[in-house]
Amino acid sequence: MPKEWIVSEPFQIDRSEYAIGEKIFMVVEGLEFDEKGQIDIMRSLNATHHKVWDSIPFDGAQKLEFNFYFESQISKIEVFCSVDDIIGKWSLVFRGTNYPNIDFEIDKRVVPGSNIKPVC
């Protein structure tokens, strides 16, 4: 799918929808020196509950720019045991800042070669 860059000030991801097994790229550019916090990658369970996939710390005093990616895949370690745990609405939450969340979705499409067998 084409890139569409979803932006929340210095944070941006390359699209709003992903397939299972697809890499989700994030670019961080223009952090202020005194900005410090963490990015929580969260899967919405319902209107009030979320499951945290991972947390990535950031500190502008150490790096003003960086890139990273994570892969939407089944993981026993992360307790995302089946495709049902992955498909749906996700958010990047920027703790320690006033930046709005970036929302995205992982749909039912599967990248060829991706493991879709339950692991838990």
* C-beta separation of 78 from 98 below 8 A: no
CA-to-CA distance for 27 and 18, rounded, in angstroms?
Answer: 16
Write out pLDDT tens, residues 9-56. 999 999 999 999 999 999 999 999 999 999 999 998 887 888 888 999
Kindly report the average pLDDT of the chain as a whole number. 92
C-alpha distances in Å from residue 83, one per residue of 18, 38, 58, 65, 88: 13, 26, 29, 32, 10
pLDDT band at 5 (very low <50, low <70, confident <90, very high): very high
Three-state DSSP state, 102: strand
pLDDT score of 112: 94
For residue 9, what pLDDT is reported? 95
Confidence at 102, pLDDT banded by 50, 70, 90:
very high
Burial class (CB in 10 A: 0-12, 13-18, 19+), 117: exposed
